[in-house]
Amino acid sequence: MNRILLAGLVAALVAWGPQQLELAAGTDELTRVEGERDELDAANAALRREIAELQAEVRALKTDPDEVARIAREDLNLVGQGEIVFEVEHRPAPKTDATP
């Protein structure tokens, strides 16, 4: 009877042991994949915010002439009819010798 019990115990350990090793290795992989998923979720949320901002800008450009004029001035350097353009050139002050 003891031999049967011992053989059953050895068989159980042989069957159960590798599963525990695989479970430990699987836990590390699961942690890595969950971290990667969290990073992808954050990137996805940022892209969704950017899309919403771009959609709002498109709506504004379709409906608001002032927004179109702002973009034309800021991004395309255009001026309206009858406006006068003044170009101001910035020159640094000349260096003077401060010694007497």
Whether residue 78 contacts residue 72, with contact meaning beta carbons closer than 8 Å, is answered with: yes
Query: For residue 32, is it within any domain?
Result: yes
Place of tokens 């702002």: 70
Closest residue by Cα to residue 81 from 67, 65, 69:
69
Distance of CA 99 to the CA centre of its chain: 55
Q: What is the pLDDT of residue 24?
A: 64
Query: For residue 60, is it within any domain?
Result: yes
Count how many domains the chain has: 1
For the chain, what percentages of helix, strand and coil (3-state, to nearest 5) are there? Answer: 75, 0, 25
Query: For residue 62, is it within any domain?
Result: yes
Q: What is the pLDDT of residue 4?
A: 79
Query: For residue 13, is it within any domain?
Result: no
Residues 6+ apart with CB under 8 A from 97: none
By residue range, what is the domain housing residue 60?
18-76
32-80, pLDDT tens digit by residue?
Answer: 899 999 999 999 999 999 999 999 989 988 999 988 888 888 888 888 8
Does this model's pTM top 0.95? My answer is no
Query: For residue 33, is it within any domain?
Result: yes
Query: For residue 38, is it within any domain?
Result: yes
Give the range with max mean pLDDT: 9-18, 25-34, 64-73.
64-73
Query: For residue 6, is it within any domain?
Result: no
Query: For residue 58, is it within any domain?
Result: yes
Confidence grade of residue 98 (pLDDT, cut at 50, 70, 90): low
